[in-house]
Amino acid sequence: MNRTSADRARARAREHEEMHAFISLTSETGDGPAVAVKDVVDVRGTVTTAGSTVLPATPALADAPVITRLRQAGCVIVGKSNMHEFALGPTSENPHYGNVRNPVDPIRVAGGSSGGSATAVAMGMCDWAIGSDTGGSIRIPAAMCGVVGFKPTLGSVPVKGTVPVSPALDTLGPLAKDVRTAAVAVEVMSGRQGLAPDETPPSGLAGIRLAVPAGWGDDLSLEVDAAWRSVAANLPRVTLPPLTELRGAGATILRFEAARFHRDWLSRCPEKYGEDVLELLRAALGVTREQYVEALAAATELRDGVETALASWDAMLVPATRIVAPAIGSSYDRADFTDYTRPFSTTGHPVITLPLPGTSLPVGVQVVAKMGDERNLVRTALALEAQWQQ
């Protein structure tokens, strides 16, 4: 892999400050991969803002465990990437640190909440970047910025030292320009080796069993629908648990746990929140403990249902978002970003989002595999990537 030096990565970030990809830059040096870290993860000597002004502006005294693993692998942290405030939105429009701009069309959003990480990767401001994903926050910006996003199996990467959204669902993973780099990044982040094969597998999907979920993808925008049909039209269908249940359980869990984390600040300093995040959190205060417990139980059953559906398949293809990136400042429906990503946050399955070929604006597709089956997921994603790049 051709590496970007830390100095060159930071120079690129400074040259393109108008993209608002970073909240802060470091002065770290070294010869290892240059990595951007979403500003929810503690990096010693830097302030963790979570894209907000609510948290104390005090530098972290210690690295989060995942950063310790990066340092042991020789990685150099080049900066803390910008994001949607408190990772609670799908666009990375940020009233405190600037709206992250899309690298393909800067008048558009980058997707969220890990938008700064996606833009930094796409524009060569790092070799790869850490994002977090609770309802789609790695996969949405990957899809909208034309890069690869990898959400590993829930629990496979430590999230200690990370500002939480929903501890039951929070996952850390990388964004990168290609599948192999993302797979190596997950090896580093998880401490699990052997995910990236030593040699590139032959192109083509011979022997790989792919399917798509029955009844999904009938409500996509024109741009996304055309790209989706080009890859999904002839694949067999499998039946998943009801999409409304997959979405609803995860949303309930996220809202209850996020409201619990923010409750004191919401009463003491609501004026410090952006309007959209404040509205979401105030609504989340209405989720009851009974609803939360029911959603946790439902999530376990839904996970089993998806595992059963995947039993005979290597992977399943699913749309990433319903729409392409909208213009910054335009109105939007959160569901258009999250309806197809949230189900696999609810269940915890590993997912790689790949850019589809032949589109004027980036469109992504999710590749979903069985729980803990990252090795097969990487193998499938590498084969798809090779075929789509021909």
Active site residues: 38, 113, 137
Of 120, 65, 112, 55, the residue nearest 269 (C-alpha) = 55
- For 134, what's the count of Cα atoms within 13 Å in the CB-facing half-sphere? 27
- Assigned token pair, 102: 């899309």
Helix 275-284 with 243-268: angle, nearest 10 deg: 110
Nearest residue to 197 via CA among 10, 382, 386: 382
Number of C-beta neighbours around residue 5 at 10 A: 15
**Are the C-beta atoms of 62 and 44 separated by less than 8 Å?**
yes
Structure-token match 């990537």, residue found: 385
The two structure tokens encoding residue 189: 């982040």
Cβ-based burial of 331 (10 A; exposed 0-12, middle 13-18, buried ≥19): exposed
Burial degree of 51 (CB within 10 A; 0-12, 13-18, 19+): buried
Edge-to-edge order in the sheet of strand 364-368: 22-25, 76-81, 34-38, 128-133, 171-176, 148-151, 351-355, 364-368, 315-319, 210-213, 237-238
Radius of gyration of the CA atoms of the chain, in A: 19
Per the CB < 8 A criterion, the answer to whether 36 and 125 are in contact is yes
How far is residue 235's CA from residue 323's CA, in Å, rounded to a whole number? 22
Q: How far apart are the first and last CA of the chain?
A: 20
Compute the C-alpha angle 352/179/216, nearest 5°.
25
| Structure-token pair, residue 321 | 């978002």
Give the span between the Cα atoms of 307 and 322, in whole angstroms.
24
